[in-house]
Each structure stands twice: as structure tokens, then as C-alpha cells.
Amino acid sequence: MKPKLMHQEAMEYSFNAKQALDQGFDSNAYELYNKAAVLESQVAEFYFDKPDLEPTRSVVIRSAAFLNIKAGQIENAKKFIFFGLLNAKDEQILEQLNNALEIAVSLSNLTNEAASREFNYLNVLRQRSILYVIEPTNITFGHSVGLEMIRDFSIDYLKSLKAYATSKFRQLYAVGEEIEDSVKREIEKLINPLVTSSAYGSFKFSIANDFLSRESESQEVRELKAHVVAKYHNEIFINPLSDNDIKVIKQNFNSDEINEIFRPLTKIKGSNSAYKVGYYDSNDFNKKFTSKIVNKQRQQLLTIKPITQEDIGELESSITHKRSTLDGKMHKTTIFKQQMKSAEFNIPTNQIEPIDNPAIILNEEIILDINFNSTTGFTFSFSDFGIENTEIDYNKAFKGFHNAFYNKLKRLAVIETKNENEQRDWDVVKKIIGNPDAFNK
């Protein structure tokens, strides 16, 4: 058979194998990929001694490498990868072969069928992935991203994503306002995005959620979890939150759901965040950055509820000593006990009240974030203006925040030539305060 016809037959087997995978017929896919790999390997070997037939030779070599990986034939794949790396000239093909080598090395210790299954699972995950990039807001340490930035992003992203998934589950099954804790825990397990690639620059990574059918899962749940990252990304994460966007969100989610979905995003997309998040648009593959969530949008989205001591909640850890006596009784002694409290909430205000200075009446109400934990105490912050204050005592933290706000306002007022960050803060001031230039005295 002529090489061209063999190549076409290999591509047909590969196409049918992908369809089998999409339908969940893994064993059929494995057999079809093996047939495709055998044919494409013969075609590639035919081109080994024909350097004059570039770029066809390199294209076929690359195809044979990847088809052998898909079939779990890792050693065969390496043969074509190494030949291509030594002889190919095209930069894109060389890059793809280097990626193929990395994958082949990682799959070397698996059986053929296991390697095929692992690669094809990863391949589908990558096709479903959203590619993000985290960059520092300030380049004090160059463009390097700290682990704290990655940690903070991961925590808040997951909180928001899981809240979105819970809401979609409620809508899917027409569940009432309350979802049982056991169901919530199950959703927590289902929604666990996997990192499908990572790279430096500043910190690039792609994520997708598991899509395989698990025991007793319905088709609807499988579809929900398989596409949840992409749907969340398009519907929530990159939403510019125009007035009309917010109106639609309020039609689709109740106030509690909106709070749970968007409150974590106000940290990720806050003006005072230590990092900014970009993503690669699926239409033009250009990098774009998410828009900030500002005070006006927070007021429209978030429901401000009064918080009590009971709302904060208590966690208690203790160390106890247990001892059995001769008569069979058990004596228990508590050696150490500690209560830990944590809370996140908001309060609105329409004025700044610095100590020893007149109160400043604001043109519009602003929302202050309050975070409490047992380690640092209370932290008051207003992300639009990039100001925060932390104290153990609530009232001291409250007063300290107002003083810090006032002092920053006074400092900005006397700066004639402002840098980019200072000008951004000054623009916020001019919006919420009637005559800020009066403080330049």
C-alpha cells in the first residue's frame, strides 16, 4: 500500500478512536489507536531517509510519535520523537516533540493500556482547560509570583467555583433553598479542578474538571462537572459586571448564592490585590486581564447583613488524657483547650471619621470589608482605595482604618505629580469626596 493511503487509513482509525473515547468506549479506542499507530509508524519509517521531502517528513514523524503515545506504545513513540528532534527544522514541530518527550517520559513505567488511558484522559482534559496567568501587581521582585499569591487565588477561586456548582446543582434538580450537608460534601468532591499544565511567565497554568463517569452518577451530573470550569469562567469569572450583567445574575441566582459566588471574587479582583489574573481568550488566543470589581458593583451584588457573635462561630481544639481505673471506669482530664474564631463580613458607611479631625461626608456609600481571625484580630479594608488597618480590638481597628484613610487622603492631596497607583487612588477619591483638593492645605 502507498504511504499516502496508509496515512489516510491511520487518520481514519484515529478519528474513530476519538469518537469511541467521547462515547466512553475506552477499550475500543485503545484498539483503534493501536491500529493507527502501526500504520503511521510504517509511513514515518518510509520517510526516515528522505530529507528532501520536508516538511512532509517532519509532519508524519510528529504524527507517528503522538499516535504511539495515544496507543500506549511509549518506546516506539520515543524512537520517532528522538528522530524528529535530531532532524526536524520547524520550530513549532520541535516544540511539540519536546512536549511529547516530556509526556512519554512520565508514562514510561506504565503498561501500554494504562499509558494510553492516562494520556488520552489528560489530552481531553487539556482540550477542556482554561489557561490562566497570575502576575504580580507590583514588580518588587520582578515578574516572579509568590506562593502566597497562588495560595490566595486558589482558595478564593475554589470557594467561588464550588458555590457556583452548588447553585447549578440546585437548579438542575430543582432542589429547595436548603441542600443537605451530605449533598454539599458530594459536590465538593465532584468539583475539584485538575492542573493540566503549568509554565513560568509569570505563572501560567491551565485547569479543567474531571469528566469521567463515576459510580452511580447520572448523565446530568457528569455533564455538570465536566463543563463546570468553562461555564463558570464565561458566566462568572470574566463577566465585566455591567448593570445589565448584574441584572441577569440576580435573575439566575438568589442573594445568598450571589454572596457566596462573588464575595471571594472581590478579593481576587479587588483593586488592592497583590496580583492580577489574566486568561487566554478561546477565540483569538490573546491574553486578557479580568476587570476589577469596584465599590458600585459590590453594592449592587452583595447583600450586607448584620453579624452577631453567633454568626462568627467557634472552633474548639483540645488535648485530653484518658485513663482506665482498676474498677473499669474511665477518667478523662482536659490538658489544653483553645477556641478559635473567624469571620468575614461587610459594613456600609457614608462618612470617614478620623480622630481629632472633622468627619468627611462621602458622595456615595462605600462598603468596607472586615476580616477577623484569632491570629491577627480585625482587619478593616476598602479595596478601591487600597487601604487597610488591623488591630486585635474591633474599635481600635475601626478607628485606625478611618485615620489611615484620612492620612492617605492628605498625603495624596499634596503630591503634584502622581505615579500610576497614586493617580488611580486619587481618581477614586474624586469620585467619593466632593472637593478633595481642599485637603491640600
Q: Is the peptide bond before 240 cis (omega within 30 degrees of 0)?
A: no
Check residue 179 and give its pLDDT: 56
Backbone phi and psi for residue 391, each to the nearest 5 degrees, phi listed first: -145, 155
* Cα gap 365→432, rounded to integer Å: 8
* Cα gap 196→119, rounded to integer Å: 11
The model's pLDDT over 149-181, given as tens digits with 9 standing for 90+, comes to: 999 999 999 999 999 998 888 887 765 555 556
The model's pLDDT over 84-99, given as tens digits with 9 standing for 90+, comes to: 999 998 999 998 999 8
Q: Report, as ranges of residue numbers, the positions in the chain whose pLDDT lies below 50.
A: 315
Asked if 322 contacts 334 with a C-beta cutoff of 8 angstroms, the reply is no
Backbone phi and psi for residue 80, each to the nearest 5 degrees, phi listed first: -75, -35
Check residue 316 and give its pLDDT: 58
Query: Which domains does the chain possess?
Result: 3-128 (1.25.40), 130-301 (no CATH), 309-340 (no CATH), 342-439 (no CATH)
Give the chain's radius of gyration (CA, Å). 29
* Cα gap 26→21, rounded to integer Å: 6
The model's pLDDT over 185-230, given as tens digits with 9 standing for 90+, comes to: 777 778 888 888 887 767 889 999 988 777 677 777 788 888 899 9
Q: pTM above the 0.85 mark?
A: no
* Cα gap 160→139, rounded to integer Å: 27
Retrieve residue 265's grid coordinates. 471574587
Q: Is the peptide bond before 108 cis (omega within 30 degrees of 0)?
A: no
Burial class, 88, CB count within 10 angstroms (exposed 0-12 / middle 13-18 / buried 19+): buried
For residue 84, give the H/E element and its range: helix 74-87
Check residue 241 and give its pLDDT: 94
Retrieve residue 4's grid coordinates. 499516502
**Where are any strands of DSSP class E within 214-328?**
275-280, 287-289, 315-324
For residue 226, give the H/E element and its range: helix 219-232
Torsion of CA 409, 413, 419, 425, to 10 degrees: 40
Check residue 135 and give its pLDDT: 92
